[in-house]
Amino acid sequence: MGKERKNLMAQGPLQKLNFERRLIMTFALRQSLEILQMPQLELKEWLAQEIEKNPLLELETPSKSYTPRIEAEFEIASTPTLYEKLKQQIGEALFSPREANIAHKLLDSLDEKGFLSMPIEEIASFFQVPVPKVASVLFTLQSFDPPGIFSRNLRESFLNQLRHQGKEDSTAYLLVERCFDDLLHGRYALIRKKLATSDLSSALNVLARLSLRPALVLRNEIAMPALPDLLIAKLEGQWIVDIYEDDLPKFQVQYLSLNPSSTEEKEALRAFQTSAKWIIRSLSRRRKMLLEIGKLLVKKQEPFFDQRAPLNPMTIKDLSIELGVHESTVSRALSGKYAATPQGLVPLRSFITSTPEALTAKEILKTLIDQEDAASPLTDDQLKEKLEIAGYKIARRTIAKYRSQLKIGSAAQRKNLRK
């Protein structure tokens, strides 16, 4: 009897530990998918930031891997979709002329993640207005779509996303508001004590569904430089596919460089170690996936590479079956990536034929709806934006048509149905 009681008492901490491990895996998987989706230039900037933040990551002197080195950067025009949507929302807001000017200045200050990169004090100084005036305009902008846009940091982004969902009174909101630093460092026991709760699972599940980067695409009024992610060349009669990483910052992990003494320092070190480990794994996964895709593209589209012949029929679904991964993973891997080929710099997505694409888009649409928050279903506009991020430019009415074909109701109907 005593042994059984002891086993039962041990289950609680064990279950919490297993849940916390699953949570770490969830965040790690999200990071891995985001790294997979990043084009070369964005990954370069992101890695530089991570190396600067993590004391275990030591920058190495770059070496040249390719001779001759692929020269400079190529000019590729891009579409200012999200920027135009934000401009439109500013135009629809009830701003005075001065407030509208401040709003556009804030819009121009967004970084590639959708975060505000300029302190509001500087903007107030620029317009010679009080800081609260700029803060008031910013508060309005933070109510815009996509949720979390115009935030100044990740914590504020999470809070704004939760406000969009009407969850200001939730445990998840309190967790971010009061215990965000503890959350980042995995101090779950301390969080439970501060919030006077023993069950964080539902709150952590809510946070796991929030976006780490509110804007994956921002405006580019002029042609932006692009770097190839793949090198495809014919050497001695054989097609060679390789990853181009010359411009990425090189780093090594110095596990023995720090000697923590306090408990807090040890927890921070563990967090840095976990982060470093998952960055390395995510980069390796990205490299492996892009190489496999490149080799498959050469195999399927060799006439194009040899003679610039028309492309053979090939869909994202075809690639996903060959690679043994989900279509959304392939879509992320293709998004914004380029290959340096004998025919010039070519977007990877251009190798995908468009005939069966509607079916793929419909399947992704169904997946998005299946995985949405039951309390806050995605609207057709939100679904349209998520599909655009995945590379499918589909009209809102087409999304409504796909929903009808799938026998799926509107966001309002789905919300009422799940009550």
Q: What is the pLDDT of residue 58?
A: 80
Q: What is the pLDDT of residue 288?
A: 93
Choose the final residue of a domain: 308, 324, 351. 351
Give the pairing of strands 344-347 and 338-341: antiparallel
Contact criterion met (CB below 8 Å) for 320 and 309: no
* Residues forming a β-bridge with 231: 242, 340
Residue 270 lies in a domain: yes
- 220 CB neighbour count, 10 Å cutoff: 15
Residues 347 and 227 both lie in one domain: yes
- 106 CB neighbour count, 10 Å cutoff: 22
Residues 261 and 346 both lie in one domain: yes
Choose the final residue of a domain: 184, 208, 232. 208
Please state the rounded mean pLDDT for residues 360-368: 75
Please state the rounded mean pLDDT for residues 349-363: 60
Residues 60 and 161 both lie in one domain: no
Give the mean pLDDT of the chain.
Answer: 77
Q: Where are the alpha helices (DSSP H) in 234-356?
A: 263-300, 302-307, 316-323, 327-334
Residues 175 and 96 both lie in one domain: yes
Choose the final residue of a domain: 351, 371, 394. 351
Who wins on pLDDT, 138 or 195?
138
- Encoded amino acid at 134, one letter: V
In this structure, what token pair is assigned to residue 155? 């914590």
- Residue bearing tokens 């927890």: 267
Residue 214 lies in a domain: no
Residue 4 lies in a domain: no
The contacts of residue 1 (CB under 8 Å, 6+ apart) are none
Residue 121 lies in a domain: yes
Q: What is the pLDDT of residue 62?
A: 56
List, for residues 97-141, the tens digit of each pLDDT value.
889 889 988 988 888 778 888 889 988 988 889 999 999 999 999
List, for residues 86-96, the tens digit of each pLDDT value.
888 888 887 88
Pick from 219, 215, 230: nearest CA to 78: 219
CATH number at residue 163: 1.10.10.1330
State the residue range of the domain holding 58.
Answer: 13-72+223-351
List, for residues 242-285, the tens digit of each pLDDT value.
888 777 878 888 766 567 677 777 777 788 888 888 888 889 99
Q: Assess whether pLDDT exceeds 70 at residue 64.
A: no
Residues 43 and 29 both lie in one domain: yes
Residues 232 and 306 both lie in one domain: yes
Residue 91 lies in a domain: yes
Residues 22 and 55 both lie in one domain: yes
SS3 state at 259: coil
Residues 55 and 123 both lie in one domain: no
Residue 404 lies in a domain: yes
Residues 362 and 406 both lie in one domain: yes
Please state the rounded mean pLDDT for residues 71-78: 37
Residues 39 and 115 both lie in one domain: no
Residues 266 and 296 both lie in one domain: yes
The 3-state DSSP composition of the chain as helix, strand, coil percent (nearest 5) reads 55, 10, 35
Share of the chain above pLDDT 90, in %: 7
Residues 93 and 168 both lie in one domain: yes
Q: What are phi and psi of 330, to 5 degrees?
A: -60, -45
* Residues forming a β-bridge with 327: none
What burial letters (b/e) apply to 30-61, b meaning 16+ CB within 10 Å? Answer: ebbbbbbbbbbbbbeebbeeebeebebbeeee
How many structural domains comprise the chain? 3
Calpha distance 143→160 (Å, rounded): 8
CATH number at residue 369: 1.10.10
Q: Of 75-89, 117-131, 384-398, where does mean pLDDT reach its minimum?
A: 75-89
CA distances from 11 to 8, 15, 22, 400 (A): 5, 6, 16, 47
